[in-house]
Amino acid sequence: MSGGGSYGYGFTFILVLFILLVIVID
């Protein structure tokens, strides 16, 4: 996962947010 500015970072951020959301909902 190298070379990718806002896309790579944004995707990872959304992934983490989604996981946190699932944990909170559960």
Q: What pTM was computed for the model?
A: 0.51
Between the two ends of the chain, the Cα-to-Cα distance in Å is: 30
User: What HEC string does the chain produce?
Assistant: CCCCCHHHHHHHHHHHHHHHHHHHHC
How wide is the angle at C-alpha 18 spanned by C-alphas 5 and 4, nearest 5°?
10
Position 11 scores a pLDDT of: 82
The residue assigned the tokens 């909170």 is 24
Read off the pLDDT of residues 1-26 as tens digits, 9 standing for 90 and up.
455 555 667 788 899 999 999 999 97
Position 4 scores a pLDDT of: 54
Written as six digits, the tokens of 21 are 């959301």
Position 7 scores a pLDDT of: 66
Position 26 scores a pLDDT of: 75
Q: Name the amino acid, one letter, at 7.
A: Y
The residue assigned the tokens 């944990």 is 23
Position 10 scores a pLDDT of: 75
